[in-house]
Amino acid sequence: MSRIGVFGGMGPAATVDFMDKLVQLTPARRDQDHLPVIVASLPHVHDRSRAILGTGKDPLPQLLEGIDFLNRAEVGVIAIPCNSSHHWYREMSERSKVPILHIARACVAAIPREAAGKVAVLATQGALVSGFYQSALDERGIPYGVPDQDTQPFVNDCIRQIKAGDMKDGGESLGKALAVVKAQGATAVIMGCTEIPLAARYTDALGLHLMDSSLELARATVNYALERGWQRTGWDA
């Protein structure tokens, strides 16, 4: 049970980015020092945002299949680098034999006090309708805003473009959204879709404090494993 389970593929590039962060955050000097990870990259899962909005197929059966796979792999914790899938966090947790780390809670918990003046939440429309980021922010008493109907299309374009591999265009779309929320008084931005941090590499943050949900989930995952001694530093290998 002393291994990490990653339920990815939603999307594939975001999963690779998450795995890179997991590796970079692990204190290691050789292969044998790294944490054991089982990755299930399952891109066939129906579009989560469309399902939440009532315009797409229900992904829950496929999400539960992914959890079943990791149960069979006997992992000790599960991380899911897809924000919108957390709409079904309760159902997946009930199916899982081990804890599932919550990406929104990990991200919101990491917001530094000096950046918490007003937080803009950039995410899929489905994730915003689901409201799990808003709930996590309310629990910490952090003021926040979500994109208006004129700004959300920039976020939608950004996510779609990154999923299609159009990194530069994704960065330009993100830049437009950042400019609007900054003008509206945002001091920090939650990148509440795991494609958005990829786009952030191709645009100017405009002085905003960008909170990377993928990075914070990776940090929480590494910390969980290290606290339980899953790293085998010093072992002969």
Considering the domain architecture, whether residues 151 and 131 belong to the same structural domain is answered as yes
Mean pLDDT value of segment 111-123: 91
Considering the domain architecture, whether residues 125 and 174 belong to the same structural domain is answered as yes
Considering the domain architecture, whether residues 123 and 204 belong to the same structural domain is answered as yes
Domain containing residue 14? 4-102+216-227
Evaluate whether 213 touches 192 at the Cβ level (below 8 Å): yes
What is each CA distance from 138 to 69, 141, 142, 193, 204, in whole angstroms? Answer: 34, 5, 6, 19, 28
Average pLDDT of the chain is 96
Considering the domain architecture, whether residues 112 and 47 belong to the same structural domain is answered as no
Considering the domain architecture, whether residues 97 and 112 belong to the same structural domain is answered as no
pTM: 0.96
Considering the domain architecture, whether residues 207 and 120 belong to the same structural domain is answered as yes
Quick one: pLDDT band at residue 233, thresholds 50, 70, 90? Answer: low
129 part of a folded domain: yes
Could you tell me the CATH number of the domain that includes residue 78? 3.40.50.1860
Considering the domain architecture, whether residues 208 and 109 belong to the same structural domain is answered as yes
Q: pLDDT (tens digit, 9 = 90+) per residue, 161-203?
A: 999 999 999 999 999 999 999 999 999 999 999 999 999 999 9
Overall domain count for the chain: 2
Q: Please state, in angstroms and rounded to a whole number, the distance separating the CA atoms of residues 122 and 192.
A: 5
